[in-house]
A and B are shown apart, each in its own frame.
Chain A
């Protein structure tokens, strides 16, 4: 990929090399025909060794990258470190925020990220009170409609290297590059532009067989989970606990027309209410109170209107016919 020479100005005058514990790494961006008339502009990566509040086992061999380019992919970041920043080998990259949000860019971890990102904590076949859930895996998930996603502008990623040495090497290389003013070029993986959208369009309509298979798998899993739940509930209903109480749980009846019945019940209740309302002006005090209420209502409305008009005047100025 052709890379533009960084403008000398941006290199020399930019005294900032770090902010807080982050090292600022300017990335030279490729020159593009659509931007011919624009001066080249670099992208800035903020890098530091990964230091989350709750350390994970991988923390020691990870770097934290903030402000990654929107077209950052696993491959592109791998290549960045491998080719230009010390040659450290990357095990995986975890992105903070992607578009579309479910798209796991790391193909290896597709399975778990697919489900986990849905924001619902479920385990396959696990039953709690009245929720049945199926954790999606490659088989039950709906086919994906994007080949690759994008990163949200200004989001971050955690790069996990194969070992501590690689991570350390990469960190040193980053600092070295910044200090030495070396040019680091951002090379995306390509595959963008119209073709990506065309691919998306055809992925939107998965083959019938694929879709059917995925649906079948899902619904089978779902039925299984449901059966498990029902069985569990039936058991709960049947067996008293230690204190001799029987837990009341949902179920015991799976019937149609829940909605219709509910509606009928509601209508009945409404009718009852109506009958009661009819007697509301039976006593004199009721009539009187009602009257009073209406009176107050009227007054309140008038006050409101007056306020409204006043506000209108304040806002629009005087009430004057248009000329």
Chain B
């Protein structure tokens, strides 16, 4: 059965299929011999459209016998792959082209070929080998052991427990609360009714990755043990615990086989202890070779208790006291009931899942994909890990595959491919809010209790809410992850396989903006309970409700994780919760709201709400009158740096007020921990672009002034900004009012076209100078406070831009204006194609053309795009600055175009999958590093779609991406050794992909270093994260600075730049000047003698530039251009070795006697680089710039 056709049709159009395709399919329709019109399945419409996309549906043989599988958003084509069922068997129609089918058409069923192929690979890798001898043997042994356990006479609870402990040292794992001392019923053991294998292993949906393989053995207890009323007051669970203990005794005492056994709570549910059996380490056991364990589960058998009594709204734990007074308002015990039902229906679910795997061929694969997906997001059936695991996933698919009587077609169709099943299930999870509208399967008459935030997926046939272990927060998180995945799967341009299945999403450092750590020791122990475990769920719930209410829309998600639980020895009783553990709360903040200073509460007139508001916030709430005259309850947060971010303030306040002062004190908070590394990096109370506003307004003033100039020889077409400082992405904010801006910001002016420009490259350059002189004259004439001067550049490259105009505004902002004239491009092209020119000249023309394109076309376009993005994503600007800082700290910044780094960071925001858009600097930075550490730049390009918006109007299409990939591959073919283009970085604005990285910028060595550094950083983060999760390190203990420091001894030698020429020295000098003067003098100085000479003067950078030119590729230089205090050099291993002597080696050499064959011509003399001599030369050249040269011996 398929869902209604209309819906499908509509949705399938929403897929990337264009009208054009539909039109084609339409025409094909006519060509067909209407035979399939008779086919009842509405599915045949989709194939048409679908194949319209890919051509000939006839050849595809799309008509399956039983109506094609249909998915809501992934229309169907027929695929030919082993994983699909018989209904997909291709039936090529007679006549027209008989094209062989070999899986070419999987594109739509599997998102894309690439996706499908990778999924196949993945499935191959994660499936364990079934039918291993050791496993089957062990199962048989265990089964026979259990079958041979002798029965035990009925005994009173207390006696039964005691005798087990005494005779066999096995403690009965009674759940909490322990059975009452005066219990009248008796516990006994009898041979099990059935022993069966169950779970993912037998269904062949297990995954071998990570955890050891677990096989579930279900032991059905004989029904004779139970009485009708045993479902009440834990009686069943006590009997069950005793039964389990007896089995434990049996296994422990069996002589032939040595097993290690432990008790464990099934999925952290203390009502359901289970026995985990592992091969003994010392014994050469039956299955010691392979790593796996056997879980012994218990079941009372189906329908032993009346299912009606165990519905979620029923009460099964009667409170103590007189019956009459309480029977009227018994509180439902849904968790208890569901646990009991879960025990009863183990076998029933095995049947359901088995039936599903028979019914639907792709079912197993879909389950495995689901497992991987859940695992990478940290979901697990364990109650402390979300309560949604593999079983829940498998069961939900199985139920969704069945048609619920009365509701019509099933949500999933048996004809779906594994990917379609996976995606549709994700869609089900993402789009349905099961807390508001519960899903009930064959449970028309069941009324489900409404509890805030509890999701319901009620399987009426087995009377179980499959999601009973989930908490409000884990359900929200699941929903969020599902939404996120759905969104990324809808991306038809980029391959999302890695983000869906491969990447580890759960890592808290990447996933959350802020982490709150609450040590368990801080919580008061309930006097009635000996173990804090019993109160933890309640505490968590309270934390969740108060924190979500308090933080409101400042956060987008909040998740609570508790320390992991482990099993315990059978000889001891259940251990108490470890008080050294702690609760970790991860927060994802909304960058726009999280920094709001004032919260508006209800109006004072609204008494009831106001009272509740006051009650919640306590003395923090104050009545305020606002500009519009309204009087509101409100909260005002501090902006002071010492008081921490506003989110932190709120959390501390809430903990203090609603939990306890002790908890609030012991709480540790870590949020956006890296932002202090850059000036004004935090977002507190302001957006990330604020530090740049003074420069932006200075720019718009200048633009206005230039445009209003009269007497300009030509009209101005645009004035565009083309500088990192003007796109919010320079490491340091450019300037503030009291200081002169040091690095002028580039801007580009284009005049209206005119025929009076000379038609010669060199003459154009001179004309530009003339224009600049005129502009300067006019500007200074208009406003004498503008300081202007024309400068020269590129003096060695006459066909490149030769001149610029520096403009220093009265406020201290500095701009560097260049003239863009589009005729240059044409003339350069002409030169490039001019066969009569010599090679070097044409090479120079090519270079000039590339430079022209970069400076006058790409950089301005890039600047505009980044400006827009920085305003759209609040955290982008600080993330870029932090990332640039990282590059600079590792002395890499001179090797990378700033635009390239910006693209890297923008990628983390525009293609955030598997996470959501970063909302603070730290997150943006860390995720960029993470991606960088995994970027295999030799084989894959960086492609960023800067136009990627929610609406997706102008965003890149798959074709654009394909074109870029082709270009990338072409580069790799031309330049196999990566001598010219090492990194390939394209965007929608720059499909060439080499604008920022051509001419070995960076070189291979440097790119490799970048990767190595990123990997090192990621592994440090990984360690930290493991420490945090394991409770070894505190969230606030991590020192962000460690990622920004590296040993200098990695380099061959280091030039220490003298203080006055470093950023540090400059800052110091500035500070000194500031302090030394009176304020009025300072102001005076600003207005009169601005230090104009120093604008744009960076001697150390000039020095390094010269070194690069003089030493070519003999030495690779590392320098932080923003005023770093060291210049590091590395002898290029290619150039530094011993070579045969010749006249031109391109470097200063020492002749040595050698025997290299190549040097025969020169009498057996070799040459090595004259390192000492070169260092001396460098020291001579640098003169007073260099304080010291340190040489590191790297001869290893």
CA distance A208 to B1186 in the complex (A): 34
Please report the total number of A residues contacting B with Cβ < 8 Å. 102
- Distance (whole angstroms) from the CB of A311 to the closest CB of chain B: 7
- Distance (whole angstroms) from the CB of A17 to the closest CB of chain B: 10
Chain A residues with CB below 8 A from B790, complex form = 205-206, 208, 211
CB closest residue in chain A, given B101 = A299
- Interface set, chain A 18-42, CB cutoff 8 A to B: 19-20, 22, 24, 29-30, 32, 34-42
Interface centre among A38, A255, A321 (most CB of B within 10 A): A321
CA distance A24 to B1167 in the complex (A): 12
Known: A20-B1162, A200-B1102, A205-B791. A188 touches B1176 (CB 8 A): no
Interface string of B87-129 (1 = CB under 8 A from A): 0000000000101001111110000111001100110011000
- Distance (whole angstroms) from the CB of A279 to the closest CB of chain B: 15
Q: Which of B104, B773, B840 contacts A119 (CB 8 A)?
A: B840
Chain B residues with CB below 8 A from A222, complex form = 758, 760, 763, 766
CA distance A254 to B1190 in the complex (A): 63
Q: Would you call A88 an interface residue if the criterion is a C-beta within 8 Å of the partner chain's C-beta atoms?
A: no
Contacting pair B773 A215 (CB below 8 A): yes
Q: Would you call B1147 an interface residue if the criterion is a C-beta within 8 Å of the partner chain's C-beta atoms?
A: yes
Q: Which of B104, B763, B1103, B1144 contacts A66 (CB 8 A)?
A: B1144
CB closest residue in chain B, given A48 = B1143
Contacting pair A323 B210 (CB below 8 A): yes
Q: Would you call A15 an interface residue if the criterion is a C-beta within 8 Å of the partner chain's C-beta atoms?
A: yes
Q: Would you call B1082 an interface residue if the criterion is a C-beta within 8 Å of the partner chain's C-beta atoms?
A: no
Chain B residues with CB below 8 A from A20, complex form = 1161-1163, 1165
Q: Would you call B144 an interface residue if the criterion is a C-beta within 8 Å of the partner chain's C-beta atoms?
A: no
Q: Would you call A305 an interface residue if the criterion is a C-beta within 8 Å of the partner chain's C-beta atoms?
A: yes
Q: Which of A19, A205, A315 contacts B1162 (CB 8 A)?
A: A19
Interface string of A87-128 (1 = CB under 8 A from B): 000000000000111100000000000000011100000000
Of the four ranges (under 10, 10 to 19, 20 to 34, 35 or more), the interface on chain B belongs to: 35 or more
Contacting pair B1151 A143 (CB below 8 A): no
- Interface set, chain B 1162-1196, CB cutoff 8 A to A: 1162-1163, 1165, 1170-1177, 1179-1191
Chain B residues with CB below 8 A from A306, complex form = 113, 117
Q: Would you call B512 an interface residue if the criterion is a C-beta within 8 Å of the partner chain's C-beta atoms?
A: no
- Interface set, chain B 570-618, CB cutoff 8 A to A: none
Contacting pair A313 B121 (CB below 8 A): yes
CA distance A198 to B1099 in the complex (A): 7
Q: Would you call B789 an interface residue if the criterion is a C-beta within 8 Å of the partner chain's C-beta atoms?
A: yes
Q: Would you call B277 an interface residue if the criterion is a C-beta within 8 Å of the partner chain's C-beta atoms?
A: no
- Distance (whole angstroms) from the CB of A310 to the closest CB of chain B: 8
Q: Which of A154, A192, A211 contacts B1145 (CB 8 A)?
A: A154
CA distance A44 to B795 in the complex (A): 31
CA distance A152 to B1144 in the complex (A): 11
Contacting pair B762 A32 (CB below 8 A): no
CB closest residue in chain B, given A119 = B841
Contacting pair A192 B1181 (CB below 8 A): yes
Contacting pair A150 B1170 (CB below 8 A): no
Interface centre among A36, A38, A206 (most CB of B within 10 A): A38
CB closest residue in chain A, given B1053 = A38
CB closest residue in chain B, given A311 = B939
Q: Would you call A227 an interface residue if the criterion is a C-beta within 8 Å of the partner chain's C-beta atoms?
A: no
Contacting pair B793 A35 (CB below 8 A): no
Interface string of A197-221 (1 = CB under 8 A from B): 1101110111010011001001100
Known: A34-B1187, A193-B1182, A319-B118. A145 touches B1170 (CB 8 A): no
Interface centre among B773, B936, B1183 (most CB of A within 10 A): B1183
CA distance A218 to B1175 in the complex (A): 42
Contacting pair B117 A35 (CB below 8 A): no
Q: Would you call B1093 an interface residue if the criterion is a C-beta within 8 Å of the partner chain's C-beta atoms?
A: yes
Q: Would you call A278 an interface residue if the criterion is a C-beta within 8 Å of the partner chain's C-beta atoms?
A: no
Q: Which of A32, A134, A195 contacts B1176 (CB 8 A)?
A: A32
Interface string of A65-78 (1 = CB under 8 A from B): 01101110000000
Known: A41-B1176, A319-B122. A257 touches B114 (CB 8 A): no
Q: Would you call A260 an interface residue if the criterion is a C-beta within 8 Å of the partner chain's C-beta atoms?
A: yes
CA distance A30 to B1174 in the complex (A): 12
Contacting pair B791 A204 (CB below 8 A): yes
- Distance (whole angstroms) from the CB of B33 to the closest CB of chain A: 16
Contacting pair A145 B376 (CB below 8 A): no
Known: A32-B1176, A197-B1099, A219-B763. A292 touches B117 (CB 8 A): no
Q: Would you call A295 an interface residue if the criterion is a C-beta within 8 Å of the partner chain's C-beta atoms?
A: yes
Chain B residues with CB below 8 A from A309, complex form = 114, 117-118, 121
Chain B residues with CB below 8 A from A153, complex form = 1110-1112, 1114, 1146-1148, 1174, 1177
Q: Would you call A247 an interface residue if the criterion is a C-beta within 8 Å of the partner chain's C-beta atoms?
A: no
CB closest residue in chain A, given B1101 = A197
Contacting pair A291 B55 (CB below 8 A): yes
CB closest residue in chain B, given A200 = B1102
Q: Would you call A156 an interface residue if the criterion is a C-beta within 8 Å of the partner chain's C-beta atoms?
A: yes
Contacting pair B766 A315 (CB below 8 A): no
Q: Which of A38, A151, A218, A321 contacts B376 (CB 8 A)?
A: A321
Contacting pair A194 B1174 (CB below 8 A): no
Contacting pair A43 B122 (CB below 8 A): no
Interface centre among A201, A254, A315 (most CB of B within 10 A): A201
CA distance A34 to B776 in the complex (A): 43
Q: Which of B114, B117, B1147, B1187 contacts A154 (CB 8 A)?
A: B1147
Contacting pair B1177 A70 (CB below 8 A): yes
- Distance (whole angstroms) from the CB of B695 to the closest CB of chain A: 22
Chain B residues with CB below 8 A from A2, complex form = none
CB closest residue in chain A, given B99 = A295
Q: Would you call A276 an interface residue if the criterion is a C-beta within 8 Å of the partner chain's C-beta atoms?
A: no
Contacting pair A16 B939 (CB below 8 A): no
- Distance (whole angstroms) from the CB of B1193 to the closest CB of chain A: 12
CA distance A70 to B1177 in the complex (A): 7
Contacting pair A41 B1183 (CB below 8 A): no
- Distance (whole angstroms) from the CB of B1175 to the closest CB of chain A: 6
CB closest residue in chain B, given A317 = B125
- Distance (whole angstroms) from the CB of A128 to the closest CB of chain B: 10
Contacting pair A40 B1172 (CB below 8 A): yes
Chain B residues with CB below 8 A from A24, complex form = 1151
Chain A residues with CB below 8 A from B826, complex form = 259
- Interface set, chain A 268-313, CB cutoff 8 A to B: 287, 291-292, 294-295, 298-299, 301-302, 305-306, 308-309, 311-313
Q: Would you call B699 an interface residue if the criterion is a C-beta within 8 Å of the partner chain's C-beta atoms?
A: no
CA distance A144 to B795 in the complex (A): 8
Chain A residues with CB below 8 A from B1099, complex form = 194, 197-198, 201
Q: Would you call B59 an interface residue if the criterion is a C-beta within 8 Å of the partner chain's C-beta atoms?
A: yes
Contacting pair A132 B760 (CB below 8 A): yes
Contacting pair B1148 A193 (CB below 8 A): no
Q: Would you call B40 an interface residue if the criterion is a C-beta within 8 Å of the partner chain's C-beta atoms?
A: no
Stretch touching chain A among B385-393, B446-454, B500-508, B899-907: B500-508
Contacting pair A156 B125 (CB below 8 A): no
- Distance (whole angstroms) from the CB of A28 to the closest CB of chain B: 10
Q: Would you call A8 an interface residue if the criterion is a C-beta within 8 Å of the partner chain's C-beta atoms?
A: no
Query: What are 11 of the A-B contact pairs (CB < 8 Å)?
Result: A19-B1162, A19-B1165, A38-B1191, A153-B1110, A153-B1111, A156-B1143, A292-B97, A294-B56, A320-B125, A320-B209, A321-B372
Beyond the given A20-B1161, A208-B789, A294-B56, please list 16 additional residue pairs across the A-B interface where CB-CB is below 8 A. Answer: A34-B1188, A36-B1188, A66-B1143, A120-B841, A133-B760, A134-B763, A142-B769, A146-B795, A153-B1177, A156-B1144, A201-B1097, A295-B54, A319-B125, A321-B375, A321-B504, A323-B504
Chain B residues at the A interface, C-beta cutoff of 8 Å: 27, 54-56, 59, 97, 99, 102-107, 112-114, 117-118, 121-122, 125-126, 209-210, 372, 375-376, 501-504, 753-756, 758, 760, 762-763, 766-767, 769-770, 773, 776-777, 789-793, 795-796, 798, 802, 806, 822-823, 826, 838, 840-841, 844, 936, 939, 1055, 1061, 1093, 1096-1097, 1099, 1102-1103, 1106, 1109-1112, 1114, 1141, 1143-1153, 1161-1163, 1165, 1170-1177, 1179-1191
Closest 8 CB pairs of A and B: A193-B1183, A41-B1172, A256-B755, A305-B113, A319-B121, A197-B1099, A294-B55, A309-B117
